[in-house]
Amino acid sequence: MMSFSAAIRMAAIGAVALGLSACATNSPENAALGINDPYENSVNRSIHSFNKGFDRYALRPVSQGYDAVTPGLFRLLISNALNHLEAPRDFANHILTAEFESAGRTLLRFAVNTTVGAGGLLDPATDFELEKEDADFGKTLAVWGAGEGVYYEIPFLGPSTVRHTAGRVVDLALAPTSYLGEPLIAGGVAAVAAVEARDDNLGAIDSVLYDSPDSYIAVRSFYLDARRAFVTNGESQNLDDLEDF
Amino acid sequence: MATVTGASGAGETGARWRARARCGLGMMIGAALAAALWTAPAAAADVEAANALVEDTAAQILDLAASEASDLEKRQSFEALLNETADVARIARLTIGRPWRGLTDSQKADYQAALIPFAANRFVKSFGDFKGGSVRYKSSTTTKVRDEERVLVRTIGRRPASAEATDILWVVTELEGRPVFYDVRIENLSLVVQLKNEMSGYLSSVGGDFDKLVALLRESTA
């Protein structure tokens, strides 16, 4: 059975976000930047401060501790297992966006790693040139023509948009851990994934969060650029669109 | 063009014209072949130089990231490397875009001097996540945009203790006869586009005051 409380939590966040977006007015300055952030000063900056504190005093130290005390091989196995759990999500979203070749490779990768790769702890598929090809429902919504929606920060989860949040809710339903019937396990896996991701991107996140003139603007810019690059397969990052003066 | 004056004359002139035409055609084919033979090795050399630049720069960054130096020392070393291997003036222009035209020479110089330490810090820390892992050459292609040849060098980065491969694309061009890069895309995310959008955000937050933007950048890397 799916982790009901997790789904309810995400759905509630999504509903609040959608509700907020319905009555929001963006500032002309943000609109000129191509950003829909009407709650920057009223809510978002406060949540950002909270999230930054959470990172500084909890997530970052825990991820550094995790990195220091766990052997490399153990971390590699965990990383492989977490990637393996994302296969159903990747496969379903490749199908939904008509990326059938990617869907086929994802299925093959899943089969190889489940059998030869000890249930996903090892990753022999990569050696057979079956690299992981990420896809999520936020991207699917974008491909289907849904707009990005309002930008906001969610306590503990960080930056998001209405479209991305809605996508996360659906992706939760595609996660195998949602069907274990044990919320603690699903929550534990999500926590390990967050610690892993923070550890993998320690320098990049540190430079955005702690070495920028305004970390709110830096995080928002970084997040939107990364998401837009992901959903457009890099088209949003075309340098040729920048005029060279 | 030859003037036809009579039958024999016409035949003689026609034969001479045909001979000249054959000669001209032969010269054109010869020139085209020569050009092809001349440019092919040059293009190959450019790609090789671009590949060498990327491999060498990536190795130096990884060494730097893995070194025991302080963050400040790493940033300063990378600034020097960036000035040597990248088109920093172009990066500065691209990250400002249209407003660049309205800036004085002194503002442009100030901005470039403030941006490069900031960009170097972002760059070296992002690459630092690959320390203990690897960044290896995969392939390269050439492309031409607005009469400019560019070499796109694709490398694959692997973080330590992570099986996932990261696609890293370097955009290399030529500056004063040497290869230089001016953008790096990690998983499709362009460092230059990212910096441009970030700078636009800061500029907007200070009411479009360019000197305040420069002050903000200086403060963040002081």
The confidence score (pLDDT) of residue B147 equals: 79
- The model's pLDDT over B160-203, given as tens digits with 9 standing for 90+, comes to 777 678 999 999 999 988 999 999 999 899 999 999 999 999 99
- The model's pLDDT over A76-91, given as tens digits with 9 standing for 90+, comes to 999 999 999 999 999 9
Residue A121 phi, psi dihedral angles, 5° rounding: -75, -30
pTM as predicted: 0.83
Asked if the C-beta of B98 comes within 8 angstroms of chain A's C-beta atoms, the answer is yes
B-contacting residues of A 54-73, CB under 8 Å?
Answer: 72-73
The confidence score (pLDDT) of residue A180 equals: 81
Q: How far apart are CA A99 and CA A101, in angstroms?
A: 6
User: Which range has the worst mean pLDDT, A92-96, A104-108, A175-179, B24-28?
Assistant: B24-28
Using an 8 Å CB-CB cutoff, list chain B residues near A202. 128-129
A133 three-state secondary structure = coil
pLDDT at B1 over 50: no
pLDDT at A1 over 90: no
pLDDT at B123 over 90: no
pLDDT at A21 over 90: no
User: Which among A76, A123, A237 is the nearest to B189, CB-wise?
Assistant: A237
User: Which among B125, B192, B204 is the nearest to A204, CB-wise?
Assistant: B125
- The model's pLDDT over B60-110, given as tens digits with 9 standing for 90+, comes to 988 988 888 888 898 899 999 999 999 999 999 999 988 888 999 999 999
How close, in Å, is residue A233 to chain B by CA atoms? 7
The confidence score (pLDDT) of residue A23 equals: 60
Query: Given 3-state DSSP classes, what are the helix, strand and coil percentages for chain A, each rounded to the nearest 5?
Result: 70, 5, 25
User: How far is Cα of residue B12 from the mean position of the Cα atoms in its chain?
Assistant: 57
Beta strands in chain A (DSSP E): 151-154, 158-161
Mean pLDDT value across residues A177-198 = 89
Task: Find the closest chain B residue to A83 by CA distance.
Answer: B164
> Which of A183, A221, A212, A138 has its CA nearest to residue B189?
A221
The confidence score (pLDDT) of residue B39 equals: 41
Q: How far apart are CA B99 and CA B80, in angstroms?
A: 27
pLDDT at A46 over 90: yes
**Distances B43 to A94, B38, B40, B86 between C-alpha atoms, Å:** 38, 9, 5, 20
pLDDT at A69 over 70: yes
The confidence score (pLDDT) of residue B24 equals: 52
Contact B161, A75 (CB under 8 A): yes
Using an 8 Å CB-CB cutoff, list chain A residues near B190. 225, 229, 237, 239
A131: left (phi over 0), alpha (psi -120 to 50) or beta: beta
pLDDT at B152 over 80: yes
- The pLDDT confidence band at residue B17, using thresholds 50, 70 and 90, is very low
pLDDT at B11 over 80: no
Q: Find which of A106-115, B120-129, B151-160 is predicted with most confidence, using mean pLDDT.
A: A106-115
Using an 8 Å CB-CB cutoff, list chain A residues near B197. 33, 221, 224-225
